[in-house]
Chain A
Amino acid sequence: MTEAARQPAPYSDTPEEREFELRSAIGSYWTGGRLFIGIWAFFFASLAFAYFYLRSNNSGQLWRPPNATAPTSLGWAIFAVVFASALLVIYGQRRLRGGSFVDWQVAGWVGLLGGLLAIGLQIYQMTRLPFYPGSSGYASCFIGWAVMNLMMLFSGVYWLETILANSIRLNRAEGPDASPATSSSPASQLFRANLDSCTYFWGFMAFVSALFWVFFYLI
């Protein structure tokens, strides 16, 4: 990955060592991806705890006064968009694993747009709330959810965008015959490992969206 001609290598680099470091890097994407999901899982678990704790307390009868529900159609729309985008990303990753780079690019970019749309809808929803933030426990939890959802969506969208951008550059570097989907070059292997982890994260995003859609709109 370096311009070897202009940068002297600081240490002897046998092919075995390079292979070893490549496998370590691929493994790191795997470990890191799972850990990343774990981090967000505990983050949202804290919100879920807050939701159920305040609900069971119902202090001052102010957990959820009569008209305290977030705009339902917007909520459904946000959830649907995130869910659909995650499905697209997963589909795209499977097509990439099957060897089709273009299919993945299309699915990826559309999924990315979906993520951006979800972010926009979520911000819009925050301006359309029928309640003040401090008027009930539900309201507070909902504002918390909106902020945390935005953080999660931003992370997923950013991650996917960087992978998409990187893959375009890799595709050019691979030349006309190969693509990052089929090439066995170290950069492409790393790219595929990175994409695998990102796809898991998008699946996780869909799961979290579903869960909190149930909490805030269904029950």
Chain B
Amino acid sequence: MTESGTDSGGTVSTSGTDSAAPVRHPRHFLRMFLIWIVIAVVADVLFYVLAGPHIPPGTMTSSASSNQFDFNILLIIALPVMLAVWVYLAYAVIMWRASNKDAPEPVGGPQARSNLGVQIGWIATTTVIVMGLFVFGTVELIANQGSGGGEGASPIWTPTSGSVLPVQVIAQQWKFTYRYPTFGGFQSQELILPNNTSIAFHVTSLDVIHDFWAYQLSIKADANPQQDNVAFTTTHETGSVTVRCDELCGIWHGAMYNYGKVVSKSAFETWAKSTEAANAANTKLLPPMAWTYVPDANGADGGYYPDSTDPYSPSEVYGAKQAAS
């Protein structure tokens, strides 16, 4: 049975040699669409309900919630797109295989070589989706103080109000150290943070490029030597935090990780004040607090001194109207 006419879906036409009964051509696109819409809706709903709330990085901080939300939206859009292609491929492979006796002969010619409507529709659809994703991503990035990514030394998406707790993250081969400038600059190997607080992470490195990845906090900022890379987030829940180095930094990169906790505000205050007092003697031996450190030119006494171009200032507050000193 040959096809007469080269439409794309279900139209009725008579074949040349058969009887007067009209022949109904299979409505390929309608079938594919129906299969697709069912699978896509089911997949999206299943994902959103079952997996969505558990998608990493969780909801411990504002940036974590926002990044989880972003991921979920992207996957909800991506799943139907991928399913559309897969449904089409599966349909083609089943219906239009050479061994399928019912499949008609393929027809070439100009109508098989291009179809302006299909082409324009495809380009328009992909452009709309992609532009929509761009707008969505930009809005999310700006509305969430940079979504936990390192913004460099002059961040432009900063917390809008309230007090911000600065925490310095010093990366070196091969461990992370945390300093708390507002508590006398004492140093800790464990990242303890207060709940319901805006936090500014100032990430720097003493030697090569590392990357501070606080997984549950959804903070990721490269640690560059002589650079201060600032990332923001606001904590919402208590819990434990895993910190891993996310940029290859030498042979022990795989072993460069430590842990931390988000605790209640009062618990944090207690811990910070008591550690500050307990470590006061050690803190005096450390280099003075600064946003970046440069290795001592001698190296022999193993010292670091603050990079004189960017000293730490206690009055540098984000969201406040006064300028940093």
Direct contact of A and B (CB under 8 A): yes
Residues of A bordering B, CB below 8 Å: 59-61
Q: Which residue of B lies closest to A61 (CB)?
A: B309
State A80–B223 Cα separation when bound (angstroms): 46
Q: Which residue of B lies closest to A58 (CB)?
A: B309
Q: Which B289-325 residues sit within 8 Å CB-CB of chain A?
A: 294, 309
**What are the residues of chain A within 8 A of B309 when measuring CB–CB?**
61
What number of A-B contacts does a CB cutoff of 8 Å give?
A: 4
Q: Any chain A CB within 8 A of the CB of B226?
A: yes
Q: Which residue of A lies closest to B307 (CB)?
A: A60
4 residue pairs of the A-B complex, CB under 8 angstroms, read A59-B226, A60-B226, A60-B294, A61-B309
- B226 → chain A, closest Cβ, in Å? 7
State A60–B294 Cα separation when bound (angstroms): 10
By secondary structure, the A interface counts as: helix
**What are the residues of chain B within 8 A of A59 when measuring CB–CB?**
226
By secondary structure, the B interface counts as: loop
State A186–B294 Cα separation when bound (angstroms): 66
Q: Which residue of A lies closest to B294 (CB)?
A: A60
State A195–B73 Cα separation when bound (angstroms): 60
State A60–B309 Cα separation when bound (angstroms): 8
**What are the residues of chain B within 8 A of A61 when measuring CB–CB?**
309
**What are the residues of chain A within 8 A of B294 when measuring CB–CB?**
60
4 closest Cβ pairs, A-B complex = A59-B226, A60-B226, A61-B309, A60-B294
Q: Which residue of B lies closest to A59 (CB)?
A: B226
State A59–B307 Cα separation when bound (angstroms): 11
State A61–B294 Cα separation when bound (angstroms): 13
- B294 → chain A, closest Cβ, in Å? 8
State A59–B226 Cα separation when bound (angstroms): 9
State A61–B226 Cα separation when bound (angstroms): 12
**What are the residues of chain B within 8 A of A60 when measuring CB–CB?**
226, 294
Q: Which residue of A lies closest to B226 (CB)?
A: A59
- A38 → chain B, closest Cβ, in Å? 30
**What are the residues of chain A within 8 A of B226 when measuring CB–CB?**
59-60
Q: Which residue of A lies closest to B225 (CB)?
A: A59
Q: Which B218-239 residues sit within 8 Å CB-CB of chain A?
A: 226
- B305 → chain A, closest Cβ, in Å? 13
State A88–B226 Cα separation when bound (angstroms): 50
Q: Which B183-242 residues sit within 8 Å CB-CB of chain A?
A: 226
State A136–B199 Cα separation when bound (angstroms): 37
State A184–B226 Cα separation when bound (angstroms): 66
State A27–B129 Cα separation when bound (angstroms): 43
- A49 → chain B, closest Cβ, in Å? 19
State A61–B307 Cα separation when bound (angstroms): 11
- A90 → chain B, closest Cβ, in Å? 47
State A59–B227 Cα separation when bound (angstroms): 10
- B178 → chain A, closest Cβ, in Å? 25
Q: Which B69-101 residues sit within 8 Å CB-CB of chain A?
A: none
- A29 → chain B, closest Cβ, in Å? 36
State A67–B273 Cα separation when bound (angstroms): 51
State A204–B309 Cα separation when bound (angstroms): 41
State A59–B310 Cα separation when bound (angstroms): 12
